[in-house]
Structure 1
Amino acid sequence: MSRIKQFKLPDLGEGLTEGEILQWLVKVGDHVELNQPIVEVETAKAAVEIPSPYIGVVTKLFFEPNTTVEVGAPIIEYDTDPTAGELPASPVETPAAAPASAEAPKREANLVGYGPRQGTATRRARKGGAPAPVVAAPAPAPVVAAPAPVVVAEPVAPVAAHVLAKPPVRKLAKDLGVSLAGLVGTGPQGSITREDVHAAVAAPAAAAPVRVVTTGGETRIPIKGVRKLTAANMVQSAFTAPHVTEFLTIDVTRGVKALDRLKAKREWRDVRISPLLLVMKAATAALKRHPMVNSSWDEAAQEIVVKDYVNLGIAAATPRGLIVPNIKDAGSLSFRELADALTTLVGTARDGKTSPADMTGGTFTITNVGVYGVDTGTPILPPGESAILAFGAIREQAWVHKGKVKPRQVTTLGLSFDHRIIDGELGSKFLADIGAFLEDPETALLGW
């Protein structure tokens, strides 16, 4: 069996066909351990670190950073027995020429969907020039003891060693066309900060931004990654499901006061409590009363699929764009467990570490437009879901309460739903139940 092994870009979640190499975490000549992170790849859903399926020495990196690679294309090559001495001068048999049983790396629990086909890669368009041509994935070459160069379509700088920088900083650097490898970090442990990136842009010799500015004062930004996937999903949803949106304005003064009393309890002082958390609890409770809302339309089978679990999606604006991670089986969680799950979801999204699995399988979504001071909206359904709730800003307004006009905490909800599944009566009852819960959560919990 050949000691030279190639590792192909795996399918990182639900049929994704390609990924962009953000950075290599190893270089030619490095000794790599099993499950050691070797490369950071950005897909249309998330940026993930891929672990190594082999132990050995890196002999070749097939693609440079900022290259889009198809699933199934070889990305890295190993010598899994570097202590055996010099390799023969004749070409070494590689997994590409070996039987399927010999070429496939052993599956690990943290890798999914090894793509079977050979793929191609495309290079990112450079500033001021036409898009680079499509480059076929290079065929395996004879391997010698000396480290092999990175195989690319044109000469490039050597792949840099691991650079410390948070995902939002990496995203900023990519958008501005700044190479992190050439920066000196001023953050903790030498990590690169936003200020370091902006300083590099301001420097006379700084790299030009990725955005291509044309004549006439227009700026063109490449559509890719999360934004590309979001756009495709929204177009598909808008022109597939007949949307209906209903609105409800409610007095949530009692609900806000209930949260304040909860915050005062010693065991809740370190828990992140917000009105969104109350809306999440209201939604899961209302979905139990109206299970048809927690469903999807199967066009191929001509069936309505009613879910007996609630994977609650929370729309989140991140440096990579809008994503909708979901809390699995949220309907079975206590209020405290929901709070902890929301804290984890928000922190993971902000750090750019949301996994593809966290963004699939959602059954109902909440979008909190109120954090931007917006009263409400008409949200578009995420594909595969029949309803989505927009939660608007809570404002102090004049409100008739017990026959008198008083200042009260008021908000507006917007519920969009698929009219093939949910008719006006069901949508109205569901929205009214959520409103009743938010107006008086204590009574609702006792009466439901």
Structure 2
Amino acid sequence: MRREFRLPDVGEGLTEAEIVRWHVKAGDDVKVNQIVVEIETAKSIVELPIPWDGVVAGLLADEGQTVDVGVPIIAVDTEPAAGEPAGGEPAAGEPAGATAAAGPAALSQPADRAKALADDLVPKPPAEGAVEPGAHGSPAPKEERQAVLVGYGVKTGATKRRPRKGATAATAATAAIPATPVANPRRVEVDGAPAAAPAAAPAPAPPAPAGGVPGAISVLAKPPVRKLAKDLGVDLTTITGTGPQGSITREDVHAAAATPTAAPAAAPAEATPAPRTATAPAAQALEERVPVKGVRKMMAAAMVSSAYTAPHVTEFLQIDVTRTMEAVQRLRALPDFAEVKVSPLLLVAKAVLTAARRHPMINSSWDEQAQEIVVKHYVNLGIAAATPRGLVVPNVKDAHALSLPDLARSLTELAETARAGRTQPADMAGGTITITNVGVFGVDTGTPILNPGEAAILAFGQVRDLPWVVDGELAVRKVTTLSLSFDHRIVDGELGSRFLRDVGDMLEDPLRIMAWS
């Protein structure tokens, strides 16, 4: 029997997701819990497993398509379960033909649903003898046929050519005389008055120079070439033709469209051309539109909500972290940290955890509905991570209870998962305080925006060699700048300053982390 797998809600009340990549195609065998598709929700990339064994009957959503929760995205042919009718046969006690008589309601039956789905998935075969319209050997359509240029197919329907501008009675009379076929392309006048029709003669006269008619510029091009140039926004007067008699070919137009537009040569004073607008390809290259969806859409909504809900205050502190950098080098040499990455961020995180235990109000949230401050005696430490799909803030659960090696492993796994785009919604929920490391981008400091639901966020800037006064003497030291943004409804200036000063003291002398833990 055919089963439809519907898009589930993989987050907290999500309503839609984008199909990022299919791992299977129609006709593939699938097993229970096999990953069949990757989707992007408003929070992260999620892999979805299939709940049945069977054969993929068809993919009901394309890659890049946004699908609502509950909409079928894949159909699978499976073995019928015990007691279920197979092959679309009516169940016991149901009269034959009842499904057909039920009309639209019959689609609720599994067999009819499967048949309707199969009809949608399998394209109808063409009628006998049918061939693609315009192809060689195709049957003539019933509409009137009108001959067009050789190699450009057959045009259906009767059409009438638009009269040329400025056509006179004389030119109309001349047009009635059968023209003698010539090998040269026809002359076309652009950006000026059309040339007068030549007198009837056994053979056409050679093309006259463009300067013969004031304000007119002659080019040699066939009508399809002219249409192609118009569609691509290419000015035919700026192209040097490579065809017979200097005519312009389709290749010349494509080459001109692919190269930047050059400034035209200076024209005579008596024939100054009107200013031209930028070509379409050049105008399109100046702008790019990126759809706001998925993680980026959620990030934008969260940042706007936070910025305009919580009154932000930011404080800055420049500190000497020479001892912290020395401690990082010593930690890297210890066997306990042999298989993990040890960076200054590890000691910054430990300092934040220690300072949050000393000042619990910094690790809290504002409950608008209850008009209460929720003080949290646990720390889910968030680390802001920039990814190609947008900013995500996964957090280390119960970071306050981890040893330094375990904290180092958790931070390493968190960063690798975020860069790979595999952060799950549960990993980003429940954060209590956040660190953003702007120093990795060569930035000294910033004014970070609070992660929604939190009261504080610490920015850690780049570490640089700067002149510093040590014991009354000038020396070159490792210096960085910390900045702390906090919700002024919860954290006043004194609490924010004490917390930031404690973090700075521990990074100036890492022994304080041990003393205050």
1:363 and 1:349 mapped to 2: Cα distance? Answer: 19
| Selected match of 1:71 from 50, 61, 69 | 69
Q: Is the 8 A contact 2:381 2:399 kept in 1?
A: yes
1:438 and 1:70 mapped to 2: Cα distance? Answer: 48
Spell out, residue by residue over 1:64-116, the C-alpha distance to the aligned partner (whole angstroms, 9 max, x if none).
22110011112222332169874459579999847xxx9xxxxxxxxxxxxxx
SS at match of 1:262: helix
- The runs of 5 or more residues in structure 2 that have no matched partner are 90-96, 124-256, 258-280
Q: Which residue of 1 aligns with 2:287?
A: 218
Q: Which residue of 2 aligns with 1:7?
A: 5
1:140 and 1:229 mapped to 2: Cα distance? Answer: 36
Q: Report the residue type matching 1:442 in the other structure.
A: L
- What is the Cα deviation at residue 145 of structure 1? 7.9
1:379 and 1:338 mapped to 2: Cα distance? Answer: 23
- What is the Cα deviation at residue 143 of structure 1? 5.3
Q: Is the 8 A contact 1:87 1:145 kept in 2?
A: no
2:457 maps to 1:388? yes
Q: Report the residue type matching 1:148 in the other structure.
A: L
Q: Is the 8 A contact 2:350 2:513 kept in 1?
A: no
1:364 and 1:239 mapped to 2: Cα distance? Answer: 19
1:422 and 1:254 mapped to 2: Cα distance? Answer: 30
The change in CA–CA distance for 1:251 and 1:96 in structure 2 (over 3 A counts) is farther
2:351 maps to 1:276? no
Q: Is the 8 A contact 2:435 2:459 kept in 1?
A: yes
Spell out, residue by residue over 1:7-57, the C-alpha distance to the aligned partner (whole angstroms, 9 max, x if none).
211111111111011122222333321111121111121111100122223
- What is the Cα deviation at residue 405 of structure 1? 1.1
Q: Which residue of 1 aligns with 2:59?
A: 61
SS at match of 2:288: strand
- What is the Cα deviation at residue 216 of structure 1? 8.7
2:36 and 2:107 mapped to 1: Cα distance? Answer: 21
2:87 and 2:117 mapped to 1: Cα distance? Answer: 7
- What is the Cα deviation at residue 446 of structure 1? 1.9
Q: Map of 1:390-409 to 2, 5 A cutoff?
A: 390-409=459-478
- The runs of 5 or more residues in structure 1 that have no matched partner are 103-138, 151-203, 205-211
Q: Report the residue type matching 1:386 in the other structure.
A: A
Q: Which residue of 1 aligns with 2:331?
A: 262
The change in CA–CA distance for 1:380 and 1:287 in structure 2 (over 3 A counts) is same
SS at match of 1:219: coil
Q: Is the 8 A contact 1:243 1:416 kept in 2?
A: yes
2:352 maps to 1:352? no
2:86 maps to 1:17? no
2:353 and 2:451 mapped to 1: Cα distance? Answer: 17
The change in CA–CA distance for 1:149 and 1:390 in structure 2 (over 3 A counts) is farther
| Selected match of 2:393 from 287, 312, 324 | 324
Spell out, residue by residue over 1:316-358, the C-alpha distance to the aligned partner (whole angstroms, 9 max, x if none).
1122222111111111111100100011111111211111111
Q: Report the residue type matching 1:42 in the other structure.
A: E
Q: Report the residue type matching 1:271 in the other structure.
A: V
- After TM superposition, the score normalised by the length of structure 2 is 0.62
The change in CA–CA distance for 1:29 and 1:218 in structure 2 (over 3 A counts) is closer
- What is the Cα deviation at residue 294 of structure 1? 0.7
Q: Report the residue type matching 1:66 in the other structure.
A: G
Q: Is the 8 A contact 1:387 1:416 kept in 2?
A: yes
Q: Map of 1:299-314 to 2, 5 A cutoff?
A: 299-314=368-383
Q: Is the 8 A contact 2:351 2:513 kept in 1?
A: no
Q: Report the residue type matching 1:35 in the other structure.
A: N
Q: Which residue of 2 aligns with 1:297?
A: 366
| Selected match of 2:402 from 303, 328, 333 | 333
The change in CA–CA distance for 1:145 and 1:444 in structure 2 (over 3 A counts) is closer
Q: Which residue of 2 aligns with 1:159?
A: none
Q: Report the residue type matching 1:252 in the other structure.
A: V
Q: Which residue of 1 aligns with 2:42?
A: 44
Q: Which residue of 1 aligns with 2:115?
A: 142
- What is the Cα deviation at residue 142 of structure 1? 2.1
Q: Is the 8 A contact 2:505 2:512 kept in 1?
A: no
Q: Is the 8 A contact 1:287 1:293 kept in 2?
A: yes
1:324 and 1:402 mapped to 2: Cα distance? Answer: 40
Q: Is the 8 A contact 1:86 1:144 kept in 2?
A: no
Q: Report the residue type matching 2:420 in the other structure.
A: D
Q: Report the residue type matching 2:17 in the other structure.
A: G
- What is the Cα deviation at residue 213 of structure 1? 8.8
Q: Is the 8 A contact 1:214 1:220 kept in 2?
A: no
2:405 and 2:105 mapped to 1: Cα distance? Answer: 53
Q: Is the 8 A contact 1:56 1:78 kept in 2?
A: yes
Q: Is the 8 A contact 1:4 1:94 kept in 2?
A: no
2:107 and 2:336 mapped to 1: Cα distance? Answer: 59
Q: Which residue of 2 aligns with 1:184?
A: none
1:306 and 1:312 mapped to 2: Cα distance? Answer: 15
The change in CA–CA distance for 1:146 and 1:15 in structure 2 (over 3 A counts) is closer
- Identity of paired residues, percent? 57
- What is the Cα deviation at residue 367 of structure 1? 0.4
Q: Which residue of 1 aligns with 2:489?
A: 420
Q: Is the 8 A contact 1:6 1:94 kept in 2?
A: no
The change in CA–CA distance for 1:253 and 1:94 in structure 2 (over 3 A counts) is farther
2:346 maps to 1:249? no
- What is the Cα deviation at residue 224 of structure 1? 1.6
Aligned length: 348
Q: Is the 8 A contact 1:376 1:414 kept in 2?
A: yes
Q: Report the residue type matching 1:249 in the other structure.
A: Q
Q: Is the 8 A contact 1:40 1:47 kept in 2?
A: yes
Q: Report the residue type matching 2:73 in the other structure.
A: I
1:425 and 1:360 mapped to 2: Cα distance? Answer: 29
2:117 and 2:310 mapped to 1: Cα distance? Answer: 57
Q: Which residue of 2 aligns with 1:27?
A: 25
RMSD: 3.0
- What is the Cα deviation at residue 307 of structure 1? 1.3
Q: Report the residue type matching 2:329 in the other structure.
A: D
SS at match of 2:115: coil
Q: Report the residue type matching 2:295 in the other structure.
A: V
- After TM superposition, the score normalised by the length of structure 1 is 0.72
Q: Is the 8 A contact 1:234 1:382 kept in 2?
A: yes
- What is the Cα deviation at residue 284 of structure 1? 0.7
SS at match of 1:23: strand
